[in-house]
Amino acid sequence: MNKPQKKTDEIRRFILENVEVHPSDITLFVSTKFGISRQAGHRHIQKLVSEGLVIAAGATRDRKYHTKSLVEFSIALSLNGLEEDKVWREHLHPLMNDLPRNIFDIYHYGFTEMLNNAIDHSEGTKATILVNRSYNYVDLNVIDDGVGIFTKLQKALQLDDATHALLELSKGKVTSDPVRHTGEGIFFTSRMFDRFFINSGSLYYTHFEDDKTDIWSEHKAGEVKGTAIRMVINPKSERTTQKVFDSYSDDDFGFSKTQVPVFLAAYGEENLVSRSQAKRLLARLEKFKEIKLDFKDVPSIGQAFADEIFRVFANQNQNVHLIPINANQQVRKMIAHVKNAS
């Protein structure tokens, strides 16, 4: 390949990889990056538009660019007698077959796990499957019309509210049907994708795997019926199913490690100060050997909360390794205080 063509291909890749985060200023962004004129950058963009890889919307002064969907697919299926592996073979496999093998495997695992959850747990009548593929992402949705995942877990585990169910779900190893399920599917699926979303009832939950961030919010306009799962990953990601499994496994290949967002132990605007809140956070964590307690977005903790975790629980479960991460100075001081007291 000659140098001018190699440079052109590099610019094209750069545009396609960055246009979604720079929809309004991609011309300036690419011209600055490669030291070319804005007119030259614009010509590269217009070439991609003419080839159908990028779409333009809006008047000239307010024009925005986006990558065009390469694949759009939707289907609604009755859950009665549905088999997730058959749905994969007949409908999803043809849409995913040209993806890199690691991404294909991730979608195979994530889709079959999430559709099986809808079949076995949702108490719904139908599932809707949506696929949207572009140069930058593969976006897969599995939506059911059942009772809702947080409501289901709340009732099965006799929890205080749906937010508590979200906390339990974030730990892993939780299911409303322990006889037939291990409770690992959602946990591992959420760690395989760049972004993983659950929209159900009054709660909207997002896990961002790259920076291990968890976000949740409550719907302002009423509850959402059923459960909507959305899974998004860049097809150029190097993540693999095996790497994800290994990162939460021990030498015996058991699911022995987890990471828990501590802020989910609080209801509403309350501070994390009590032993009961700590016990809520620690429920079932004795099943793990290594636990990363993520204190991101936790401004402070009380002495009783810290003492219950880092002295009482730690002494009662000496085979469990507690690792606080993303703690600010105030939180670190309180953890050190109760550890020193013990």
Based on the domain organization, do 55 and 119 belong to the same domain? no
pTM (two decimals):
0.81
Q: Which amino acid is at 205?
A: Y
How many percent of the chain have pLDDT more than 70? 95
pLDDT score for 227: 96
Number of folded domains that form the chain? 3
pLDDT score for 19: 86
Based on the domain organization, do 255 and 314 belong to the same domain? yes
pLDDT score for 216: 86
Tell me the CATH number at 281.
3.30.750
* Residue 325: CB atoms within 10 Å: 12
Tell me the CATH number at 209.
3.30.565.10
Based on the domain organization, do 37 and 114 belong to the same domain? no
Q: Quote the CA–CA distance of 49 and 163 in Å, as a whole number.
A: 45
pLDDT score for 179: 55
With beta carbons less than 8 A apart as the criterion, state whether 274 and 203 touch: no
Last residue in a domain, options 242, 274, 308 = 242
Q: Alpha helix locations (H) across 122-237? A: 149-156, 162-171, 185-192
Q: Which residues of the chain have pLDDT under 50?
A: none
pLDDT score for 321: 95
pLDDT score for 291: 95
Last residue in a domain, options 51, 67, 83 = 67
Last residue in a domain, options 242, 268, 292 = 242
Based on the domain organization, do 322 and 263 belong to the same domain? yes
Range of the domain at 329: 249-341
Contacts of 49 (CB under 8 A, 6+ apart): 55, 56, 65
Based on the domain organization, do 120 and 221 belong to the same domain? yes
pLDDT score for 290: 94
pLDDT score for 232: 94
